[in-house]
Structure 1
Amino acid sequence: MKHIFSIIALPPATIGLLLSVSGHAFAQDKKAPFEEMAACQEITPNEARLACFDFTLARVLQARENGDLSVIDRAQVQEARRQLFGFSTVPLPALFGKNEPSEQIEAISTTLDRAVRDNQGRWLFHLTDGSQWRQVDNETYHLRPVQGDEVRVRRATLGSYFLNLASNRAVRVRRE
């Protein structure tokens, strides 16, 4: 009974943000469990409505226990988007519901862990968030990167990215 109240007490936006379903009855329609719960609200007799909620919630909890259903909140979605920034991935709406322009990450700010040059003289930047960014243009940049320097990576046109290291000019990069 404790689980019923904790799950139902969650805001609907939290419950519905991520629904990863595979190999289960919910696999045909990802909205099915929550549409079923919404349909339960329409039932007038209290006992029947409670029975509907109990049945539907039991299916949702079983799917979660089996690993067929995952629920994450908005903060976790934003962190996942931040970690995926710069990668060519599955379109995020498929993973995280609506992909409103206001929810898209246009830039990240972090600090430099280290930077090295490869054998072609191009920079490879290792950032403290664990991401790695490689210079993709043939420009020669006279940088003096220091661990702890502020780094900003921003989205540019046509799927490219620019990395600004401290107050130096931008370097065109790609995520590795």
Structure 2
Amino acid sequence: MTAVQPTLKSFPKPSQLPVPAGAEGWEQLYPYNLVFGNLSGAEDEKFWFCDSQHWPTVFKPFETIGGEFAVKCLGQYNTRHLLIPPANGIEFKIHLGYLYMSPVPVPEDQIAARVPEFERRAATTSRTGRACSSSGAPRCRPRSPRWSSLASGRCRTWCRSTTS
């Protein structure tokens, strides 16, 4: 009889991940504000996920600026520009060299007040994009003759002439 492994219904908490042999003290390589301060406290109870889609490899200590910049900009854009109703940005940390993110929720009583402004901003963005693409505004047209030939339906001819 074989033992059945329990299935996880969530991502593992950072505190549940074992430190590989030889990697003890990895926290000292990264800035203090990027590593989990207390893995048994409230920080560990949040929903954290490893963003291995965009950052599939371990961050070298001096390369974390890329992740810091990208995640901070994403959080600010969602919070200040789009005003996504239930989101107030993204918190991020490094654990075992990988980037972990956690959404920062908006208090329940403030979500309804954010919806009308979000709808207004989203509608403006959508209208502007449709108007630009349908009018053929200069900023939407290809600038290069090569791209113009691709856009005008001569793609097959151009592709054949460049590959043969």
Compare the two structures and name the one with the higher helix fraction: 2
Please identify which structure carries the higher strand content.
1
